[in-house]
Protein backbone atom coordinates (compact mmCIF):
# COMPACT_ATOMS: atom_id res chain seq x y z
CA UNK A 1 0.00 0.00 0.00
CA UNK A 2 2.90 2.34 0.73
CA UNK A 3 4.19 1.74 -2.80
CA UNK A 4 0.87 2.78 -4.38
CA UNK A 5 0.67 5.84 -2.14
CA UNK A 6 4.15 6.92 -3.18
CA UNK A 7 3.58 6.20 -6.88
CA UNK A 8 -0.02 7.33 -7.16
CA UNK A 9 0.15 7.71 -10.94
CA UNK A 10 0.23 3.93 -11.23
CA UNK A 11 -3.46 3.72 -10.30
CA UNK A 12 -4.56 5.00 -13.71
CA UNK A 13 -3.39 2.06 -15.78
CA UNK A 14 -5.05 -0.76 -13.78
CA UNK A 15 -8.27 1.25 -13.50
CA UNK A 16 -8.33 1.73 -17.28
CA UNK A 17 -7.69 -1.95 -17.94
CA UNK A 18 -10.35 -2.98 -15.42
CA UNK A 19 -12.83 -0.57 -16.98
CA UNK A 20 -12.10 -2.01 -20.42
CA UNK A 21 -12.54 -5.58 -19.21
CA UNK A 22 -15.79 -4.81 -17.38
CA UNK A 23 -17.32 -2.69 -20.14
CA UNK A 24 -18.88 -5.63 -22.08
CA UNK A 25 -20.73 -6.75 -18.96
CA UNK A 26 -21.91 -3.22 -18.26
CA UNK A 27 -23.07 -2.74 -21.84
CA UNK A 28 -25.04 -5.99 -21.70
CA UNK A 29 -26.86 -4.58 -18.67
CA UNK A 30 -27.85 -1.49 -20.65
CA UNK A 31 -28.41 -3.07 -24.06
CA UNK A 32 -28.88 -6.82 -24.44
CA UNK A 33 -28.13 -6.69 -28.16
CA UNK A 34 -24.74 -5.01 -27.71
CA UNK A 35 -21.68 -6.88 -28.89
CA UNK A 36 -18.86 -7.47 -26.38
CA UNK A 37 -16.78 -4.70 -27.92
CA UNK A 38 -19.31 -2.59 -29.73
CA UNK A 39 -18.42 0.50 -31.72
CA UNK A 40 -21.34 2.30 -30.19
CA UNK A 41 -21.18 5.66 -28.49
CA UNK A 42 -20.66 4.27 -24.98
CA UNK A 43 -17.68 2.15 -26.00
CA UNK A 44 -16.03 5.15 -27.65
CA UNK A 45 -16.44 7.21 -24.49
CA UNK A 46 -14.95 4.49 -22.31
CA UNK A 47 -12.13 3.89 -24.78
CA UNK A 48 -11.42 7.64 -24.85
CA UNK A 49 -11.23 7.73 -21.05
CA UNK A 50 -8.91 4.73 -21.05
CA UNK A 51 -6.62 6.30 -23.66
CA UNK A 52 -6.55 9.59 -21.76
CA UNK A 53 -5.77 7.74 -18.51
CA UNK A 54 -3.03 5.79 -20.26
CA UNK A 55 -1.53 9.00 -21.66
CA UNK A 56 -1.71 10.71 -18.27
CA UNK A 57 -0.03 7.69 -16.68
CA UNK A 58 2.76 7.85 -19.25
CA UNK A 59 3.19 11.60 -18.82
CA UNK A 60 3.64 11.20 -15.06
CA UNK A 61 6.27 8.52 -15.67
CA UNK A 62 8.07 10.64 -18.30
CA UNK A 63 7.92 13.69 -16.04
CA UNK A 64 9.31 11.62 -13.17
CA UNK A 65 12.21 10.44 -15.34
CA UNK A 66 13.07 13.70 -17.11
CA UNK A 67 12.29 16.36 -14.50
CA UNK A 68 12.33 14.68 -11.09
CA UNK A 69 12.36 18.00 -9.21
CA UNK A 70 9.26 19.25 -11.02
CA UNK A 71 7.57 15.90 -10.42
CA UNK A 72 8.44 16.06 -6.73
CA UNK A 73 7.15 19.63 -6.54
CA UNK A 74 3.85 18.73 -8.21
CA UNK A 75 3.24 15.63 -6.11
CA UNK A 76 4.61 16.60 -2.70
CA UNK A 77 4.94 20.32 -2.06
CA UNK A 78 2.57 21.94 -4.54
CA UNK A 79 -0.52 21.86 -2.32
CA UNK A 80 1.09 23.00 0.92
CA UNK A 81 3.40 25.58 -0.61
CA UNK A 82 0.82 27.06 -2.95
CA UNK A 83 -1.14 28.62 -0.09
CA UNK A 84 1.95 30.35 1.33
CA UNK A 85 3.35 31.90 -1.86
CA UNK A 86 2.82 35.49 -2.87
CA UNK A 87 0.83 35.98 -6.09
CA UNK A 88 3.89 36.51 -8.29
CA UNK A 89 5.59 33.32 -7.10
CA UNK A 90 2.37 31.35 -7.45
CA UNK A 91 1.99 32.43 -11.03
CA UNK A 92 5.56 31.56 -12.06
CA UNK A 93 5.76 28.15 -10.41
CA UNK A 94 2.28 27.20 -11.46
CA UNK A 95 2.92 28.15 -15.09
CA UNK A 96 6.20 26.25 -15.32
CA UNK A 97 5.02 23.09 -13.58
CA UNK A 98 1.67 22.76 -15.27
CA UNK A 99 3.05 23.80 -18.66
CA UNK A 100 5.56 20.95 -18.54
CA UNK A 101 2.83 18.46 -17.68
CA UNK A 102 0.46 19.85 -20.30
CA UNK A 103 3.10 19.86 -23.03
CA UNK A 104 4.04 16.27 -22.35
CA UNK A 105 0.38 15.24 -22.35
CA UNK A 106 -0.38 17.17 -25.53
CA UNK A 107 2.69 15.77 -27.24
CA UNK A 108 1.76 12.23 -26.33
CA UNK A 109 -1.83 12.68 -27.47
CA UNK A 110 -0.68 14.18 -30.77
CA UNK A 111 1.80 11.35 -31.25
CA UNK A 112 -1.00 8.86 -30.74
CA UNK A 113 -3.03 10.63 -33.43
CA UNK A 114 -0.20 10.05 -35.90
CA UNK A 115 0.15 6.39 -34.99
- What tens digit of pLDDT does each residue of 21-79 get? 887 787 778 777 777 666 666 677 777 777 777 777 888 888 888 888 888 877 777 77
pLDDT of residue 3: 67
Residue 95 zone, left/alpha/beta (φ > 0; ψ -120 to 50; rest) = alpha
Total number of domains constituting the chain? 1
Mutual orientation of helices 12-30 and 41-66 as an angle, nearest 10°?
A: 180
CA distance 52 to 6: 22
E strand or H helix at 3: helix 2-6
Residues 5-33 pLDDT 10s: 666 667 777 877 887 788 778 777 877 77
E strand or H helix at 64: helix 41-66
Query: Does the structure show a pLDDT above 70 at 114?
Result: no
Q: Which domain holds residue 66?
A: 2-114
Residues in the chain: 115
pLDDT of residue 44: 75
- Backbone phi, psi, residue 55, to 5°: -65, -40
Query: Does the structure show a pLDDT above 70 at 111?
Result: yes
Amino acid sequence: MKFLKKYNELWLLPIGILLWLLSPVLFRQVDETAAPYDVAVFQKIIFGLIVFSFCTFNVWIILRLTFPNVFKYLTETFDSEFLNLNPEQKCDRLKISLALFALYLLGLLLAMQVL
